[in-house]
Amino acid sequence: MSGGLARVAERFTAFAERWLPDAFVFALGATVLVFAAGLAVGEPALKLVEAWGNGFPELLAFTMQMALVIVTGYVVASSRPVYRAIGFIADHAPHGPRGAVATVALFAMVSSWFNWGFSLIFSAVLAKELARRTRGVDYRALAAAAFLGLGSVWAQGLSGSAALQMATASALPKAVRDIVAHDGVIADGIVRFDHTIFLWQSFVAVAIEIVVVTAVMALAAPRGARARDAAALGIDLGPPLDAADELPAPRTPGERLEHSPALTLAIVALGGTYLFLSLRRTGITGLTVNTINLAMLLVGFALHRTPARIMKAVRDATPATWGVLLQFPFYRAISGMIATTSLNAKIAHLFVGVSTKLTFPALVAAYSAVLGVFVPSGGGKWIIEAPYVIRAAHELGVHIGWTVSCYDLGEAIANLVQPFWMLPVLALLGLRARDVMGFTFLVALVLFPLVVVLVTALGTTLPYPL
């Protein structure tokens, strides 16, 4: 990492830290830009104002759903049993600096397929525990590896925002859902998981990415004199991050109830029965953002056992949700100006004009990756893009579910060069974005052409519309 590539990455990071504002500023800027674009194509100003205002409150349900993805992931990752599992993995990881980095990268990606909020915390704690146990390991490489789930496969997993939105009736506005339906071509405008993340093509893409990224990080990890461990970076690892810190002993009958597992286990039994009955009726393809959030919350209840520990975990998790709560309503308002005006058709025709059925998947992936650098929110960005991307897919005869998967594969790459979602990991590990982005930028350079090839080749095996 000491060569020209690292210097390019460091310059890119310095530029991003100096000139790129917070993602919320991009949401505000995109609002103004889309409004101006609407005026430019002849839409009346009052119609655009009305579309924006009508759209603003419609995403409140999905905003809360995405906030719960973060909260429930943190609740599970901060439990005693999970911390013990992290210790076991760290004790039995392959020996040596490269083995430690590869271990963190592998578990970061696998765990992010199940839940990206869980992966962020789980992987960061694993990186810190391996830093204690592995002599000569580069702490920056460990930190970068801990983030790679969100830079590769998360959006192709169970908590991927776009796939969840397509499978959940309430997660997209009616105007967008009508575009997906395309006059009844797709019933109710619902695209379930078996047509997106559960496609065999999606599993192949995820598996290839995991193998390639793990190998890249193992080879890129500095060794010997080039490695900088936590001490060399001036970071005190402190005591083990034991999630089992004891709470104050209960003193009153009310506090004893808070420390009793009776009510918690009753809720787990109730919720577990509901999920069993629901999935028995619909099968795994009936999963939605609501059922996944409920399942994660119930797992958190079972692992923490008492209301007192659950409340503490949720309090610790909620600060990480502010970006979602603030930004997502603005993304929906932007989508309203696109989906309900002529902008939708004009942008869709632009996509159709510069692509073919063969090249469209690669164009979607590349476009998603580039736009994701400026709007680092998979769900919020998809609400803006879905109207014209899906309309163009219909016009070109491209598999709709695979179009969503292509968007997801490109979206994840953007996180490797945009530090917004790195912040929870960096805060826990005591590093700055510039410390890790040399590694993540390297992974992005490898993944981008790989994804373009994968979405093009695998896309040829899928029929239209589903």
- In terms of Cβ atoms closer than 10 Å to its own Cβ (0-12, 13-18, 19+), residue 88 is exposed
Number of helices (H), then strands (E), in the chain: 22, 0
pTM of the model: 0.78
Calculate mean pLDDT across residues 90-111: 92
3-state helix vs strand vs coil in the chain, percent to 5: 75, 0, 25
In this prediction, residue 77 carries a pLDDT of: 81
- pLDDT by residue (tens digit) across 154-180? 989 988 888 888 988 777 788 888 899
Tell the residue number behind the tokens 């930004």, with chain if given: 327
Burial class (CB in 10 A: 0-12, 13-18, 19+), 188: exposed
What does the pLDDT average to over 171-197?
88
Residue 427, pLDDT > 80, answer no
Q: What percent of the chain has pLDDT over 70?
A: 89
The average confidence (pLDDT) of the chain is 84
- Residue type (1 letter), 287: L
DSSP states of 415-430 as a string? TTT-GGGGHHHHHHHT
Going from the C-alpha of 231 to that of each of 140, 163, 200, 454, the distances in angstroms are 12, 42, 45, 41
Question: Residue 244 pLDDT > 50, yes or no?
Answer: no
Residue 374: band (very low, low, confident or very high) from pLDDT cuts 50, 70, 90 = low
Higher pLDDT: 371 or 10? It is: 371
Helix (H) or strand (E) holding 21: none
Closest CA to 207 of 304, 106, 87, 95: 106
| Residue 241 pLDDT > 60 | no
Q: How confident is the model at residue 243 (pLDDT cuts 50, 70, 90)?
A: very low
Q: What percent of the chain has pLDDT over 90?
A: 30
Q: Which of residues 333 and 356 earns the better pLDDT score? A: 356
Q: Which tokens go with 365?
A: 């992936």
